[in-house]
Amino acid sequence: MNSRQKLRLKFSLVIVLAILAGLIAYPQAVSKIPRLFGILDKPKVNLGLDLQGGIHLEYKADTSKVDSAQVGDAMQAVQDVIERRVNAFGVAEPVVYTTKSGGEQRLVVELAGVKDINEAKKMISETPFLEFKEEKMTEPEKIPEEIITSANEKSKAKAEDILKKALAGEDFAVLAKDNSQDPGSKDNGGVYDFQKKGSFVPEYEAVIFDENVKNDEVYSKLVETQFGWHIIKKIEIKGDGDDREFKSAHILISKMTQPQPQMDFASTGLSGKNLKSASVQFKSQGLSEPEVSLKFDDEGTKLFADITKKNIGKRVAIYLDGEIITAPTVQSEILNGEAVVTGNYTVEEAKTLVKRLNEGALPVPISLVSQQSVEATLGQVSLEKSLKAGMIGLLLVIIFMLIYYRFLGLIASVALLIYSALMISIFKLSGFTPWQITLTLPGIAGFVLSIGMAVDANILIFERTKEEVRKGRNILSAIEEGFKRAWTSILDGNMSSIITALILVEMGTGFVKGFAVTLIIGVLASMFTAVVITRTILRFILGPWIENRMWLVGAKKNES
């Protein structure tokens, strides 16, 4: 493949990218093609609290009983628990952060799109709960035998009635769909495709392999198994010996039996209030796998000793907020109030487990001090104003580029439109990833700012290009030199912006993070459009024809 063919391929990829980004950003363009429009219209921009409405809650944390050195860790633990609770509530991209107000520790929760403020408050204000449970066999309540006998007599009578209908020639598949209580075959008309011998209970297979029963024949008697009463239809047998397979159909009428005992976990009374701390430790001076060390208070030490004594060889499960996080097997009685949880953990997994345990061990009571509902109508007005401002800004930038850089400005404007469509597509498609982007008013500000930064890269390139033209270079080599010389300035400037934005992401809260994240994505996308898309389009379109039309570039060679 020669250089011209490579250039055509790159240009084709740019066109495909532009079309895809444009259609995802504005699917209404293909609204007359319902199937395609339905696919493209699925991705949506996830709007923040200030744009779609929702709930803003602020809580005061009572850290009076927490050691001053542990306040930061305790607040982080509460934040993590609340985030997990909100995620379980089904809220997309909640904003949860801690702050200080007049020396008080505060927790702020913003839930975009949530309407039921009372349910949200109830969910958030619950204290994180850590508890230990032991294995226990639960005996279900027995059903009176007369009830079981009566129910089974009715089931058997029903099965006999269905058998008569099947033997009389009624459609077996219809009878199965209407009556069978076997979910695995009911919808198939009772048919099980070829299975090897030994796949079914012996009573069932005895009928299938009875030489007196012909293919496609319904067996003349009910067959009772542990599951109930079967009406069996033999369809076909193939193979020999251990490879014999059979195809059959059946209608199952289930029988009632006494419920069986179930193994479950029961409360022990030992909970997070008894856990002093959890930490990661290593044997053999860090050369072994990490373990999680637990330390209980006096009451917890006694409880844990009793629990481990009577559960040797059994599991003791650790629950956090009703969710089991580990269930180690007790090896021996533990009297010193310390335990080690092993489970082939990596260092990161052990740290995560410790963090979750300490969340339950260091609960910080929180009380609601402020609540605010943001109406969706206010958010809609803000969104419309922001989008209008962004469109005006984009239009003014395009006009400036066309007037000052002419043909080069036209190419830059096309790349800028592709950039805008690409950014909107990224916002929409992020919803299908674990890193969904929530667009807020500050985020839109970051997007609009990145438009200016996107065109700034083109300005650096074009000014370098004009300098090279004045020195006597032809336009094609001048553009190549312009890209080469401007690249270091573009990279330095954009990396400075990215580093600043990363600091805002790390240290900022709430909407500040939204602004910073959007700005980072915008800067990276702008570098791509300026250096790759604009350059590819210019390389493909420009040729010797431009040399006699230098006024299109806005520069001319020095005559000296």
Distance CA 145, CA 36 (A): 61
Say whether 240 sits in a helix, a strand or coil: coil
Which residue type, as a one-letter code, is found at position 330? V
* Residue 180 pLDDT level (bands cut at 50, 70, 90): very high
Distance CA 454, CA 447 (A): 10
Q: What is the mean pLDDT of the chain?
A: 82
Distance CA 266, CA 274 (A): 18
Please provide residue 233's backbone torsions phi and psi, each rounded to the nearest 5 degrees.
-120, 120
pLDDT for the residue 288: 66
pLDDT for the residue 516: 84
Alpha helices in 53-181 (DSSP H): 71-89, 117-125, 145-167, 172-179
195-199, 350-354, 535-539: least confidently modelled range: 350-354
Site of tokens 């401007």: 486
Q: Render pLDDT for 119-147 as a digit per residue (tens, 0 to 9).
A: 677 666 555 567 888 888 777 788 898 99
Share of the chain above pLDDT 70, in %: 87
Q: Render pLDDT for 105-123 as a digit per residue (tens, 0 to 9).
A: 888 888 877 767 776 776 6
Residue 508 has pLDDT above 80, yes or no: no
pLDDT for the residue 85: 66
pLDDT for the residue 7: 84
Distance CA 114, CA 55 (A): 6
Distance CA 353, CA 347 (A): 10
Short-list 181, 178, 55, 172, CA closest to 112: 55
The mean per-residue pLDDT over the stretch 163-188 comes to: 92
Share of the chain above pLDDT 90, in %: 15
Contact, 314 vs 329, CB < 8 A? yes
* Residue 230 pLDDT level (bands cut at 50, 70, 90): very high
Distance CA 175, CA 182 (A): 13
Contact, 432 vs 487, CB < 8 A? no
Beta-sheet pairing, 54-61 with 338-341: unpaired
The mean per-residue pLDDT over the stretch 188-217 comes to: 88
Ordered domains of the chain (ranges, CATH): 3-46+375-544 (1.20.1640.10), 57-128+365-373 (3.30.70.3220), 145-254 (3.10.50.40), 262-351 (3.30.1360.200)
The mean per-residue pLDDT over the stretch 307-324 comes to: 82
Region of 293 (left: φ > 0; alpha: ψ -120 to 50; beta: rest) is: beta
List the beta bridge partners of residue 234.
217, 248
pLDDT for the residue 474: 79
| Count of other CB atoms within 10 angstroms of residue 221 | 12
Contact, 445 vs 515, CB < 8 A? yes
20-29, 185-194, 380-389, 441-450: least confidently modelled range: 380-389
The mean per-residue pLDDT over the stretch 370-383 comes to: 70
Residue 393 CA: distances (Å) to CA of 356, 384, 412, 497, 534: 47, 14, 15, 20, 20
Distance CA 44, CA 10 (A): 29
Count Cα atoms within 13 angstroms, Cβ side, for 512. Answer: 12
Alpha helices in 222-375 (DSSP H): 298-310, 347-361
Contact, 534 vs 417, CB < 8 A? no
Query: CB within 8 A of 31, min separation 6: which ones?
Result: 37
Which residue type, as a one-letter code, is found at position 26? Y
pLDDT for the residue 511: 66
Query: CB within 8 A of 402, min separation 6: which ones?
Result: 409, 410, 413
Distance CA 31, CA 6 (A): 35
* Residue 556 pLDDT level (bands cut at 50, 70, 90): low
List the beta bridge partners of residue 131.
271, 319
Distance CA 112, CA 57 (A): 11
The mean per-residue pLDDT over the stretch 239-253 comes to: 87
* Residue 362 pLDDT level (bands cut at 50, 70, 90): very low
The mean per-residue pLDDT over the stretch 165-176 comes to: 92
Contact, 326 vs 287, CB < 8 A? no
Short-list 280, 272, 338, 334, CA closest to 305: 334
Distance CA 149, CA 548 (A): 102
Region of 216 (left: φ > 0; alpha: ψ -120 to 50; beta: rest) is: left
3-17, 374-388, 389-403, 533-547: least confidently modelled range: 374-388
Q: Render pLDDT for 52-93 as a digit per residue (tens, 0 to 9).
A: 777 888 888 888 877 788 788 778 877 877 776 676 555 555
Please provide residue 323's backbone torsions phi and psi, each rounded to the nearest 5 degrees.
-115, 130
Distance CA 483, CA 535 (A): 8
Distance CA 470, CA 458 (A): 18
Q: Render pLDDT for 474-500 as a digit per residue (tens, 0 to 9).
A: 777 888 888 888 888 888 888 988 998
Residue 154 CA: distances (Å) to CA of 149, 252, 254: 9, 14, 11
Higher per-residue confidence, 266 vs 87: 266
